[in-house]
């Protein structure tokens, strides 16, 4: 570590030197110490004494793929709920807080019974949309009024954002979290002398979480879905396209959840979900920065060791994606420039073919890649084009998107993309082009060591996807990819039967003076 830091801070390392070091088998490894607590929680430690700070985080091995129909969006909801505090953080009167929460649950149960009745009316065709306020029953409206009164009572007891304020006062920064289909990650940077504070704060919210404002926060999540998906030009189409891609795998539903599920999630369901997926045996703590491993391990035993192991083990995702038997296509009119998205099914992370597919994506992508040079600078059929592999924990995809130039159609862009892929299927990539891409991967192996937080994020993602060791093992695997490997994976996965295509044309203007657009006349 010290050898690399001195080299890097002394000036940029020439790319050819990086390649030479990588190709000769020398690569700087992230020195990780692994430890398992008595309750099954794992601890990963990376000492770096360049800066008196610590990037601390933890990963819950749960994402939207671990949900089921009826509770989609639950993993993302928990990302929000984990900031609501503990018995000593976030409230003026903990006992009164619990009493209000219990009262809320009684009313919510009655509201759920009324919601079930409204769903029956919807299925009978007597209501057109149960989410509309005007379609709610009189009893539901009375219960909703009572519940809102309880929300007001609870707000009077809250100490808003106290969790964040404690960290900020102590010099912490960048506290945040994220949810994907496969994992949920939490992270923050704290001064080195605040490590014990981090241990106490994070262990407390795992040991004794209080899910205050559960239903109010559920509404916040629903609003986030509206902003990200329903209020963007392509959000609803992208969600529908993703659902079309996956026939059987739970990757088919959105991480934000389906709109009918989010408002229906109960606190009882959340408690069950928490017991299963936020159990210590399903979590990994990660520290990167200025600390002593022995001392940090002792603190972890002291604070996180208090959390009892759950008797309920998180189940593995069993349902696999079936082999796609035929090409699927979706045609959309959107308030956006005409474009095409093409997605093929591929392989999960760490699969032997994933490295060749990632190399292939870089051959196609960037302003110096084949797609941009061929379609934007060459034929000028597209203004922009990109390739993006996505290797998830259980399965993977490979996508290519292209935006059509003015007077050109998405179908023309699609055809040009296939022509570029055909070259990869029939001709091996020249050695210098392949080496250029490998050089970029080798350079990344060094750039990733620039900060505690960058290392922490890589550790969170790699551990959440199945194995933190990938941070040290991926580099040599990329360097071993051959031109034959690239040609093989192109032929294996880029088939007509295996692809999903979304064609976007510009939405036609409405009104008496509206005229057809060039894109619409060419359809």
pTM, 2 dp: 0.89
pLDDT greater than 50 at residue 19: no
pLDDT greater than 60 at residue 166: yes
- CB contact at 8 A, 332 and 502: yes
Q: Determine the pLDDT at residue 509.
A: 66
Q: Determine the pLDDT at residue 457.
A: 97
Longest alpha-carbon distance in the chain: 76
**Using 50, 70 and 90 to split pLDDT, how confident is the model at 132?**
confident
Q: Which one, of 432, 441, 447, 523, lies nearest residue 483 by Cα?
A: 432
Same domain, yes or no: 108 and 222: no
Do the bridges between strand 283-289 and strand 42-47 make them parallel or antiparallel, or are there none, so unpaired?
Answer: parallel
Taking residues 100-127, what's their average pLDDT? 93
259-272 pLDDT tens trace:
999 888 998 999 99
Same domain, yes or no: 187 and 248: yes
Question: Which range, of 24-33, 89-98, 112-121, 364-373, averages the lowest pLDDT?
Answer: 24-33
Which CATH number characterizes residue 379's domain? 3.30.830.10
Same domain, yes or no: 338 and 297: no
Q: Which one, of 284, 286, 396, 285, lies nearest residue 350 by Cα?
A: 396
Q: Determine the pLDDT at residue 511.
A: 55
pLDDT greater than 60 at residue 380: yes
pLDDT greater than 80 at residue 431: yes
Greater confidence (18 vs 357) lies with 357
341-357 pLDDT tens trace:
999 999 999 999 999 99
**Using 50, 70 and 90 to split pLDDT, how confident is the model at 522?**
very low
Spell out the SS3 assignment of 314-327. Answer: CCCCCCCCCCCCCC
pLDDT greater than 70 at residue 8: no
Same domain, yes or no: 217 and 294: yes
Q: Determine the pLDDT at residue 55.
A: 98
**Using 50, 70 and 90 to split pLDDT, how confident is the model at 5?**
very low
Q: Determine the pLDDT at residue 523.
A: 31
Taking residues 19-42, what's their average pLDDT? 75
Burial class for 178, CB neighbours closer than 10 Å (0-12, 13-18, 19+): middle
Domain boundary among 103, 123, 157: 157
Domain boundary among 306, 336, 356: 306
Same domain, yes or no: 75 and 123: no
Same domain, yes or no: 380 and 501: yes
- CB contact at 8 A, 398 and 387: yes
Q: Assess if residue 313 is contained within a domain.
A: no
- The percent of residues above 90 in pLDDT, for the chain, comes to 82
3-state SS assignment for residue 282? helix
Same domain, yes or no: 125 and 98: yes
Q: What is the mean pLDDT of the chain?
A: 91
Q: Assess if residue 28 is contained within a domain.
A: no
pLDDT greater than 70 at residue 16: no
The number of domains in the chain is 3
d(CA 505, CA 519): 7
d(CA 331, CA 476): 42
Q: Assess if residue 162 is contained within a domain.
A: no
Same domain, yes or no: 351 and 374: yes
d(CA 267, CA 275): 12
265 contacts: CB under 8 Å, gap ≥ 6: 71, 73, 74, 77, 218
Q: Assess if residue 320 is contained within a domain.
A: no
Q: Which two tokens stand for residue 190?
A: 């704290």
- CB contact at 8 A, 297 and 43: yes
Q: Assess if residue 312 is contained within a domain.
A: no
Q: Give the residue ranges of DSSP H helices in 397-509.
A: 410-426, 431-447, 452-464, 470-479, 483-493
pLDDT greater than 70 at residue 512: no
Q: Which two tokens stand for residue 252?
A: 């088919």
Q: Assess if residue 403 is contained within a domain.
A: yes
Question: Which range, of 23-27, 118-122, 234-238, averages the lowest pLDDT?
Answer: 23-27
Q: Assess if residue 411 is contained within a domain.
A: yes
498 contacts: CB under 8 Å, gap ≥ 6: 324, 327, 344, 345
**Using 50, 70 and 90 to split pLDDT, how confident is the model at 61?**
very high
**Using 50, 70 and 90 to split pLDDT, how confident is the model at 508?**
confident
Same domain, yes or no: 302 and 418: no
Same domain, yes or no: 404 and 420: yes
Domain boundary among 157, 190, 214: 157
d(CA 285, CA 328): 42
Q: Assess if residue 420 is contained within a domain.
A: yes
Parent domain of 152: 92-157
Q: Determine the pLDDT at residue 27.
A: 55
441-500 pLDDT tens trace:
988 878 878 899 999 999 999 999 999 999 999 999 999 999 999 999 999 999 999 999
Do the bridges between strand 339-345 and strand 328-334 make them parallel or antiparallel, or are there none, so unpaired?
Answer: unpaired
Q: Determine the pLDDT at residue 23.
A: 43
**Using 50, 70 and 90 to split pLDDT, how confident is the model at 223?**
confident
Q: Determine the pLDDT at residue 510.
A: 64
Taking residues 362-385, what's their average pLDDT? 96
Same domain, yes or no: 60 and 139: no
Starting at the earlier edge strand, list the strands of the sheet with 339-345.
328-334, 499-506, 339-345, 396-404, 382-391
Taking residues 17-21, what's their average pLDDT? 38
Greater confidence (510 vs 24) lies with 510
Same domain, yes or no: 489 and 464: yes
């Amino acid at each position: 570590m010290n050898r690399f830091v001195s080299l890097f801070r002394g000036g940029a390392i020439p790319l050819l030197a990086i390649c030479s070091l990588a190709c000769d088998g020398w690569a700087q490894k992230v020195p990780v110490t692994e430890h398992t607590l008595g309750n099954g929680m794992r601890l990963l430690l990376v000492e770096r004494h360049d800066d008196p700070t610590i990037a601390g985080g933890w990963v819950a091995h749960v994402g939207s793929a671990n949900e089921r129909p009826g509770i989609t969006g639950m993993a993302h909801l928990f990302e929000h709920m984990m900031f609501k505090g503990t018995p000593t953080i976030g409230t003026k009167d903990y006992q009164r807080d619990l009493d209000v929460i219990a009262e809320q649950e009684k009313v919510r149960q009655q509201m759920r019974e009324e919601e079930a009745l409204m769903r029956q009316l919807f299925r009978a065709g007597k209501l057109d949309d149960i989410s509309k306020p005007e379609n709610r029953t009189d009893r539901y409206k009375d219960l909703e009024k009572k519940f809102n009164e309880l929300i007001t009572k609870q707000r009077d007891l809250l100490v808003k954002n106290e969790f964040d304020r404690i960290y900020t006062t102590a010099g912490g920064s960048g506290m945040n979290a994220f949810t994907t289909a496969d994992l949920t990650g939490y992270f923050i940077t704290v001064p080195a002398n605040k490590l014990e504070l981090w241990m106490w704060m994070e262990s407390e919210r795992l040991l004794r979480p209080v899910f205050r404002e559960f239903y109010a926060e559920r509404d916040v999540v629903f609003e986030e879905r509206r902003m990200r998906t329903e209020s963007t030009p392509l959000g609803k189409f992208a969600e529908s396209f993703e659902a079309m891609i996956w026939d059987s795998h739970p990757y088919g539903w959105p991480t934000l959840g389906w709109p009918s599920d989010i408002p229906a999630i109960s606190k009882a369901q959340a408690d069950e979900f928490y017991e299963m997926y936020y159990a210590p045996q399903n979590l990994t703590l990660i520290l990167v920065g200025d600390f002593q491993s022995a001392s940090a391990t002792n603190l972890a035993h002291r604070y996180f060791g208090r959390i009892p192991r759950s008797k309920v083990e998180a189940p593995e995702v069993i349902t696999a994606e079936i082999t796609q038997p035929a090409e699927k296509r979706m045609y959309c009119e959107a308030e956006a420039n005409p474009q095409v998205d093409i997605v093929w099914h591929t392989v999960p992370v760490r699969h032997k073919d994933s490295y060749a597919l990632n190399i292939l994506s870089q051959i196609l992508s960037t302003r110096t890649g084949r797609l941009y040079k061929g379609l934007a600078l060459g034929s000028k059929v597209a203004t922009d084009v990109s390739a993006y592999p996505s290797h998830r924990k259980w399965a993977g995809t490979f996508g290519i998107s292209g935006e059509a130039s003015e007077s050109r159609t998405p179908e023309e862009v699609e055809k040009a993309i296939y022509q570029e892929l055909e070259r990869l299927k029939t001709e091996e990539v020249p050695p210098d082009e392949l080496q250029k891409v490998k050089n970029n991967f080798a350079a990344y192996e060094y750039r990733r060591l620039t900060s505690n937080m960058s290392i922490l994020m890589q550790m969170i993602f790699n551990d959440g996807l199945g194995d933190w060791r990938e941070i040290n093992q991926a580099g040599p695997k990329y360097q071993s990819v051959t031109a034959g490997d690239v040609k093989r994976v192109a032929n294996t996965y880029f088939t007509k039967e295996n692809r999903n295509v979304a064609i976007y044309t510009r939405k036609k203007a409405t009104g008496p003076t509206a005229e057809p657009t060039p894109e619409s006349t060419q359809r």
